[in-house]
Amino acid sequence: MTAAQLPPVAPEVTAGLVEALSPRLRKRLDAAVAKLAARPVTCDGDTVTVAVDDETELRMHAPGGVVATADAITCGCLLAPDCVHRAAAAGAAPTAEPAPEPSGPPGPPAAGAAAPHRDAAEAAAATGTSTGAEAFAVPPPSDVADPQQRAAADAVWSAAAAVLDAGVDGAGAVAQAVLLRAAHTARLARLPRAAAAALSVVTLLRAARAHDPSYRTADLVTALAELLGTAHRVRTAAGEELAAARGVARRPYSPDGSLRLYGLFSEPVVTDSGHGGVRTWVAGSDGRLFTVSDVAPGGAGRAVGVADRAVRMGDCALTHRELGRSGLAVSGATVSPDGRLGAGKSVKAVTARGAAWTEPPLGGLWEAAPSQQAARALRATSRYADPGAGGSDLLFLDVEVLGAVRESGGVCLLAQCASGVRVRLTVADDDPALAHRDNLMLLASAPGTRLRIVGRLIPALHPRLALLACSHPRGEGTVDLGFDRLRRADVPGSGSAPAPAETGGPTALPPLHLLERRVEQTVSAGRAAVGLLGDVSVEAVRLRRSGLPTAAGLLSALRASAAQRERDHFGRLLPADTEGFAAHWLSAARYASAVSESLCAASWGAPRDAVAAAPARS
């Protein structure tokens, strides 16, 4: 059984089932989750059945695709309904996003939280209509948070601090249930940003504990820092900053009149939650970027197939791949803050002529300097940027292929921009069902090839992009590198010896990793692992000598807070100050992120103040 085979369970349902367990059963819950995950599953309509053993079955009833109540999970064992199996099934299943509800006066349950990952949000946004009437906004903010919101923020902070104290290995189903309860409390208090961040942390914790190959510790660091930072801002901020910390329950779609759109390219979308589909990028006559998406459960297989399905917008008969090379005339358009085009009943669209990448208005996208584009992309995609800030993480560059670069994570393509900046181009998705890897390797075998490319910025200490599309090497239109497969005959000079290309990573960089690895070590192994470290004065000295005195101070404070344990009058150890340690960890994580983004901007030649990095908050 995999988590994808089970129906999503509402956060409050999982939290309630775990809270109802006796202390003895809570100790057995993680083992029960692992055992249940290995059992066979069958599906019959809205009911999913799990064979607990040869004689006992557990049923999950999910009308509408979501288990919305605790009574919808039943078990046939002798201890039911007080058994551990029901809570284990909820803990093994994906976490459902709450259904959106119209906003109203305080009291009723608030609108559903936004999706924790961008790709998951892509899936949710693509499954319904998108009109201006679908905006479920948070009521106008007051100057400060109300008592209910402050209490919810306190609960979120405490739950996140407990996860940080325990680390991935210690944050089992019980700790996750506390987070889910905090997420539900935040949603009722109209704090959708905190609720979404809590659900994101739970999803990543489950991926880490299941040894999911797609899991990255850096993602959990970002999610925990977002959760702690949002909770802190709710408790301390006012005015517009408080409104940003509260967030909005759903991306509003606003009317945008008539639009003349020109196709750029299409890219496959494959999410960790098992969704798959396509995202097609188009540009308006003024150069603004928009997207049209079709994402649903199905993974990479669906992504490959849906690219050749018709775009769901008005009377348009184009497929997504055709739209990427053609155009649309749209009336009654609705657009979300991040550029997604709505597909409501009032939207009308007909096919129109497209434009080449060298023609207006598309050609103008390649005119900006790489440093300006990188700075814009970093502002839009900063790890802790407020949602709805807008902007795109795409870069449009003219490059010359230099050859392959061998790195610890594999091989990527080295190219040089017309401005002289050398950029590393990597695959956007390594799934073998997609064409990314084969196309990149073929392009790497043809040094000297000149291309016009589109890539997604990857924040790193050197210029780095995920390659999405390029002009055809023989000048025959464009190539969607996730869908179209280049042949050797398409690439002049392919198969020749690649030009000498640098290996490894950049040198002479500030040793920011000395702080970053302690931040990640905390997430993986918990506070105790950092507290057991020896003297960190040598690392602190190295940071100071490299011009990072703040990093040195944060590292020392983090280690000291982790090791601090006070005693009572009888000499007995008192409980550790987990919330104080969380504040030190948050400061270190936010500082490391801000410096990393500044170094990334500098590698592209952007001014030091080009990236408005979010300040570290503790």
Q: 151 with 231, same domain?
A: yes
DSSP sequence for 512-568:
THHHHHHHHHHHHH-HHHHHT----HHHHHHHHHTT-HHHHHHHHHHHHHHH---B-
Q: Is residue 122 part of a domain?
A: no
Contact 96, 11 (CB under 8 A): yes
Q: 60 with 172, same domain?
A: no
Q: 262 with 330, same domain?
A: yes
Write the CA distances from 68 to 36, 71, 88, 95, 542, integer angstroms. 20, 9, 16, 11, 53
CB atoms within 10 A of CB 38: 7
Out of 220, 246, 272, pick the residue that ends a domain.
246
What is the distance of C-alpha 116 from the center of its chain? 7
The average pLDDT across 472-476 equals 89
Q: 268 with 172, same domain?
A: no
CA 442 – CA 161 distance, rounded (Å) = 47
- Going by pLDDT thresholds of 50, 70 and 90, the confidence category of residue 25 is very high
Q: Is residue 467 part of a domain?
A: yes
Q: Which pLDDT tens digit goes with each residue over 26-84?
A: 999 999 999 998 899 999 889 999 999 888 999 999 998 899 999 999 999 999 999 99
CB atoms within 10 A of CB 23: 7
Report whether pLDDT(424) > 90: yes
What mean pLDDT is reported for the chain?
Answer: 85
**Residues spanned by the domain of 238:** 138-246
The average pLDDT across 163-187 equals 95
Report whether pLDDT(99) > 90: no
Q: 170 with 278, same domain?
A: no
Q: 347 with 381, same domain?
A: no
Give the per-residue pLDDT at 113.
33
What percent of the chain is helix, strand and coil (3-state, nearest 5)?
A: 40, 20, 40
Q: 460 with 572, same domain?
A: no
Q: Is residue 495 part of a domain?
A: no
Q: Is residue 348 part of a domain?
A: yes
Phi/psi of residue 60, each to 5°?
-120, 115
* Radius of gyration, CA atoms only, the chain: 25
Give the per-residue pLDDT at 27.
94
- Going by pLDDT thresholds of 50, 70 and 90, the confidence category of residue 609 is low
Q: Is residue 102 part of a domain?
A: no
Q: 389 with 481, same domain?
A: yes
Q: Among 74, 77, 51, which residue's Cα sits nearest to residue 61?
A: 74
Out of 326, 360, 394, pick the residue that ends a domain.
360
Report whether pLDDT(304) > 70: yes
Q: Is residue 130 part of a domain?
A: no
Write the CA distances from 132 to 105, 123, 342, integer angstroms. 21, 19, 9
Contact 247, 193 (CB under 8 A): yes
Locate all alpha helices (DSSP H) within 38-84, ordered by sequence: none
Give the per-residue pLDDT at 373.
93
- Going by pLDDT thresholds of 50, 70 and 90, the confidence category of residue 391 is low
Q: Which pLDDT tens digit goes with each residue over 527-548?
A: 998 888 778 889 999 999 999 9
Out of 57, 89, 121, pick the residue that ends a domain.
89
CA 232 – CA 201 distance, rounded (Å) = 16
DSSP 8-state assignment for residue 46: T
Q: Among 90, 110, 65, which residue's Cα sits nearest to residue 13?
A: 90
Q: Is residue 486 part of a domain?
A: yes
Q: 376 with 421, same domain?
A: yes
Contact 421, 438 (CB under 8 A): no
Q: 543 with 525, same domain?
A: yes
Give the per-residue pLDDT at 608.
59
What is the amino acid identity at position 186? A
Q: Is residue 404 part of a domain?
A: yes
Upper half-sphere CA count for residue 532 (Cβ side, 13 Å)? 7
Give the per-residue pLDDT at 502.
52
Q: What is the pTM of this model?
A: 0.79
Locate 150 and state its tokens. Answer: 């402050």
Q: 391 with 462, same domain?
A: yes
Q: Which residue has the higher pLDDT, 540 or 97?
A: 540
Q: Which pLDDT tens digit goes with each residue over 231-242?
A: 999 999 998 889
- Which residues face 573 on adjacent strands? 567
Q: How many domains does the chain contain in total?
A: 5
Give the per-residue pLDDT at 613.
42
Contact 60, 92 (CB under 8 A): no
Q: 524 with 552, same domain?
A: yes
